[in-house]
Structure 1
Amino acid sequence: MNRKIWGLSLVVFSLLFASCSKKEDFSNFDDETVVIVDDIVSALVVRASSLRNQEIKFTILDEDGNDVTENATFYVDGEAIEGDSFSSAEIGNFEVYGEYDFEGTLVTTDTEAFSVIIPKRKIVIEDYTGAWCGYCPRISAAIEAVHDETDDIAVVAIHNDDDMALPFEENLRETFEVFGFPSGRINRTQNWGNPHPPEDVVDIAGLDTNSAISIQSQLSGNNLAVKVGVVSENDLTSMKLVLYLVEDGVLSEQVNYFDQDPSSPYYEMGNPIIDFVNN
């Protein structure tokens, strides 16, 4: 199926060491835990996931929200560390707690877990398509075959000359030398040629990588706020960040040249296919 694009922005960015989530998708930024010790409320703040050799900062807030980190001692896996930060060249699971003096009382926070991980690579498939294009369901079928093998993909349909087309579509085709329909691109630059073998994607999806992206979004009425962060073991200051805003479940008629092809999943589905689901 196809995925409708609602917006695209190309943003030159400087490296942002954003906080990471408990999962490898880095979807959340901060993991804050509040503990009560002898009626003193303390908050130990630590990222749940970080990359190898990335600085991991620890913060303690007292019951009034004051930062008391400067006066605290932190223990990682039971060993006191110098300062309020930690890094590891090796992946693994760790535990941290902190201690500080509050008016003569030693306050010990709860022990919190965090991880040092290697992110997994997610592959972008861009499907250059159009509702008028009778051969375009071919790539839709190939994408479904890839989905059967891996979830480590992100799919974007870039429509031409139909109700889902956007003005910058022609610029994208010219920039990336897309000359016909359907056309597939893997990670923007690699041509995914007919018959669009799933292994071209599956063989590289989910492999270890040295960079990760975090994204948080919040919808308030008609306003969508998106916060994006990037972490990497390499210097990315010369790179660009591409943001897609997409919509699933868009229904349209789709010209279907495979209506009489028994080998196609779109066999006898009509030409055109009524209420073709664009995802």
Structure 2
Amino acid sequence: MKKFVYLIIFPLLLACSGGGSGGDDSPQPNKVTSLQIYLSDTTTIVGQSLIFSVIDNTGQTRTSEAKFFVNDVEIQGSKYTFNETGKFQVHATFQGISSQRKEVTVNPVPIEYKKRVMVEDYTGTWCGWCPRVSYALELLEKETDDAVIVAAHQGDPMQFSQISALMSAFSVSGFPTAIINREQKWTSPQPNNVAQVTAKLAQKAYIGLAINPTIDGRNLNINTKMSIGYNYSVLKLGVYIIEDNLEYDQENYTSYYNGAAVLRGFKHHNVLRASLTNILGDQLPNDEVGHGKDYEKTFNYSIPAQYNKENIKVVVFVTEGSSKVVLNSRVAEIGETQEIEKKE
């Protein structure tokens, strides 16, 4: 009887312990099944290098073991210098697995032009604290010839017709407000922070500008020229008319100008009179924008009888796309002849 039981149980034990191949279907947490490639940038210029890296699905860095390809041609290592313009596809492989492809845009080496800084002063004769900015602007003009100043008046005889739209566009809620390159508010007290403005002159400018205003009677002809040194996709050009030497009494709560409560016959300069474009600029035709391209446009303006044509000047500025930041700007007097100025 014992022998019979043994004959039955023994085969069952063999069946239970006989380790078939079912274990091959269990998950392998350390198995590499996918790769993610990373680039130090997706836009560069000719002659610059990008660095690539790879991480697998387990979180392990595989950069030193992976192979990298630019337009399906294997490169040495994980750093690559692009020597021509265009769009390039970059991917990596490891253990027979390929990463996703990423596109790199390589632009020509930018052309640099002389940089100027634009300051817009929101002001009014009724504003007793506004002479603080007026005084700061005088200090700025002593410091540099490369400041382009626009004074946008509100609530006085010099009020700009579109002042409300300008204030809304740049969230101006109080006076005085001074904005640098439509990007940054000038910190108060402005006379103590002139360096905040002049520091912008150290930035690179890839837009060159020239203005040539001529006059016939009261008809002003304004030839504007632009040279583009970078592959911008969308640019806007703004053109303003400003006037100097307007005399109006100015309220003064400050200690500047000897602390007089009212500055009698105060001379107001760079007063914004008209915009010959949208106040934020008009978009250039798409086929006129790109590295190495030049753009030229002429504007006409009839100077109103109440304006002194001898004191009229023209301001131009350029912005990119939907950004309001001024890339470069310039100002010219009537009769002045300007050329595009590259960086020295």
1:125 is aligned to 119
Tell me if 1:167 matches 2:161.
yes
Q: 2:264 aligns with which of 244, 251, 274?
A: 274
Write the distance in 2 (CA, Å) between the matches of 1:170 and 1:123. 23
- Residue identity matched to 1:201: V
| Native 8 Å contact 2:112 2:229 kept in 1 | no
Deviations 1:199-243 (A, max 9, x none): 101112265421111111110001001011211111345121111
Q: Percent identity?
A: 33
Deviations 1:94-116 (A, max 9, x none): xxxxxxxxxxxxxxxxxxxxxxx
Write the distance in 1 (CA, Å) between the matches of 2:253 and 2:196. 25
2:189 is aligned to 195
Write the distance in 2 (CA, Å) between the matches of 1:257 and 1:175. 28
1:234 is aligned to 230
| Native 8 Å contact 2:133 2:176 kept in 1 | yes
| Alignment coverage as a number of residue pairs | 160
Write the distance in 2 (CA, Å) between the matches of 1:119 and 1:141. 29
Write the distance in 2 (CA, Å) between the matches of 1:213 and 1:254. 34
Tell me if 1:204 matches 2:200.
yes
1:248 is aligned to 244
**After the TM superposition, which residues 135-146 of structure 1 pair with which residues of structure 2 at under 5 Å, given as runs?**
135-146=129-140
| Native 8 Å contact 1:251 1:276 kept in 2 | yes
Q: Secondary structure at the match of 1:275?
A: strand
**How far 1:120 sits from its partner (Å)?**
1.6
1:81 is aligned to none
Write the distance in 2 (CA, Å) between the matches of 1:189 and 1:174. 14
- Residue identity matched to 2:227: V
1:152 is aligned to 146
2:30 is aligned to none
| Native 8 Å contact 1:120 1:206 kept in 2 | no
Q: Which has the higher helix share?
A: 2
TM-score by length of 2: 0.44
Write the distance in 2 (CA, Å) between the matches of 1:237 and 1:248. 36
**How far 1:118 sits from its partner (Å)?**
3.6
Q: Secondary structure at the match of 1:188?
A: coil
**After the TM superposition, which residues 14-29 of structure 1 pair with which residues of structure 2 at under 5 Å, given as runs?**
none
| Native 8 Å contact 2:180 2:186 kept in 1 | yes
Compare relative contact order (CA 8 Å, sep 6+) and give the higher one, 1 or 2.
1
| Native 8 Å contact 1:211 1:232 kept in 2 | yes
- Residue identity matched to 1:276: F
Bigger Rg, structure 1 or 2: 2
Write the distance in 2 (CA, Å) between the matches of 1:152 and 1:161. 29
| Native 8 Å contact 1:128 1:184 kept in 2 | yes
Unmatched 5+ residue regions in structure 2? 1-108, 270-344
Write the distance in 2 (CA, Å) between the matches of 1:206 and 1:253. 37
Q: Secondary structure at the match of 1:174?
A: helix
